[in-house]
Structure 1
Amino acid sequence: MYAVVRIPVRILAVVVVLPVRVVWDLLALGARAVYRRALRPAGDAVGRACAWLRRYLLAPVGHALAWLARGAGLVLEWAALAVFYWPWAGLWRYALAPAGGALWRWVLVPLGQGVALLARGTAVALGWLAKALFVWPWAALWRHLLVPGGAALYRYLLRPAGQGLAWVVLALVRYLLKPAGAGVVWAVNAVWRYLLKPAGAAVVWTVGAVWRYLLVPPARGADWLVRALYRYVLTPAGHALVWFLPRALAAVFVWPWAALWRYVLVPAATGAHRYLLAPLGHGAARLARGLYRHVLTPLGHFAASTWRLAGRVSRALGRGLLRLWRGCVARPSAWVYRQVATPAGHLVREVWRTSRSAARLVWRTSRTAAGEVWHTARSAVRDARAGVRQALFGTPPREPARSRARTLGSKTAAGNTPAPEISLREQQG
């Protein structure tokens, strides 16, 4: 099969896919060239510019701002200290604290000690006065009047009266109250034994009889009736309701839907799945497998082989164009550069170097000659002007002669006037 479609594949690859692959390769080459020659250098330049900007502009500005902020903070701190802390601290340390200490030490402490001493003396005096007014008279009255009077009254009046009263009370209890109490106790025992106890026993027997023969039988009958009603009526009715209500609710709300699900929906879904969806699914699967196996796979192989063939042709075309470029442009240009331009450049460089040295030597010589001519002409003009001045106005007067003084450290005397100053150019001229 592949042998049959090989020729059409090649024709299609050359006619249709090759231009697309060539355009794709050109776009890829252009993109790589743009990335290498433009985007990456631009990115590197931007990165270096940003690094330079950060290093030489932003970092110094940031350091300067930080230094300025630190300086401003320090200045503000010193200003705040100078305005809000140091005056009050100095006022407290050097004015209020010494004044308060001195006031406390030399005024308040002595004043407090004096007030305490005065209060202590006043308290002692008031204590003595209070004792003299309220304690000592009553103590003396109690000690010297009431205690002896009370002791005498107790000894000679109250104790004999108490002893007589106690004898009277004992006699009254022994001969009057004790016999009367014994009679009262005998009467109470008699009333309890012969009146209250039989009456209580009769009341207890009556209450027991009423409870046993009047209240208990109806209560037992009511209890039996309630138990029988619960066991034989309410319990079966409850069981019947418990059995009936779920079934009734299921019959109303569950059984129809269950029957619908079991006898309608499930058979319909099973039949639809078995006789409709499953055959359709199997047919679709077989169709998809056949389409994938007999259409998409050959088309994929065809497209892949076409793309590879176009790539080979494009690569061969590119290599041919590259070789053509190298053979027609690059190598001749390199040969011209090596064999023609480089020797010509070296020759031009040597000629320029030699001509530059010769021109420099000629310039120096001409400049020296021009300088000598200029100095000669200037000296001649100066001499002519001096001769004309001497001829017109005569010789200028000289300074008077001075005493010849001996020079220190030598045996010769110094001249009267110093030698005239003559420049090096005048000596050479």
Structure 2
Amino acid sequence: MDLEKPSPQPQPQPQPPEGCLAVAIRIPVRIVVLVLVVPVRVLWDALVVVGRFLNDVVLRPLGRALLWIGRAVFVWPFVGLWRYLLVPLAKGLGWLGHVLVVVPLVWLYRYLLTPLGHALAWGTRGIGAALAWVYARVLTPIGHGVMWVLRGVGTAFAALGAGTYAVVAWLVRYLLVVPAVRVYEWVLAPVGRAIAWCARGAVWCLSMLVTGVGVALYWIARVLLVLPALAVWRWILVPVGRAIAVVAREIGEALGHAWRIAGHISLAVGRFLGTLFRWIFVEPVRWVYRTVLTPVGHVVRDAVLRPAAEAARSVGRATRQALAAARESVRQARADFRRMVFGEPRQPQVVERREPEARETRTLGSSTTALTKD
């Protein structure tokens, strides 16, 4: 039992009612477009078939051949140059650089620079210790005395500067700051407020004037431009555009319908031509191949090619046997010459084993140990 609710099927959208103009121009437009589109579609399908045939028979094998030639001419020489010349040369140069540069530098660093650096570090530590003693025992007491003297002088100068600063601050306040504040409060502020009030009034008058002129210009432009343009758009351009849209839509639908019908017609014509070509050319060729060429080929294979192949294999086997016998004869002659010139090779001495070579059955009178064997 299915517990899930079935998904609702989408309802077809209701088509809007078509006008008399669309119904009137549909059939003539479709007939004219079909007459014009059928040759184009047949030509297009013929070009597609020719293109696929050329691609499968000519262009793809040609491309593979060009690719192989390009590899043989451009890729493989560079690969061989890289693999058999540059890589061994680079390895040799690397080994030479390691032997001539890296090893001497490592030796120089390990046996010359490192001991020299250790000596310099030891001397630097001694000099640093001496300088630290001079700083701690000589310079530090002198610096403390100088700082004590400078601190006293600074205290005196600070007291003198504080008194001078107080006098100058009192004079500046009562000679400059207080008069300037009085002038700002009693003169500049009232004058600025009066000027700001006058400016606001002028701005209000100017804004009212601009608003009135803008409203007048708006109504003049609306009456002279907008309303006529709106009337032209609503009563002339919209109906003409709708009629043009209906005509264009019907022409587009007619083109699609004619293209599909032309495709079916082209498919039928192609199948007819394919069947005709098959019965006129392919079937006779196939019959000739099956009935004539295949028996003849079998006869040639059984009567000529197989005996020739057996004879060639026999000749090959005899040749290989002759070459093997010749190699064996040469090997024996070389061994005889070596024995004649250098003598017999030394035979390995047989060492007597203390243990028996093979496991034998143990009895009461025999043993496998070295002390008790017979």
Q: Give TM-score scaled by structure 2 length.
A: 0.47
Q: Which structure's relative contact order is higher, taking Cα pairs within 8 Å and 6+ residues apart?
A: 2
Q: Which has the larger radius of gyration?
A: 1
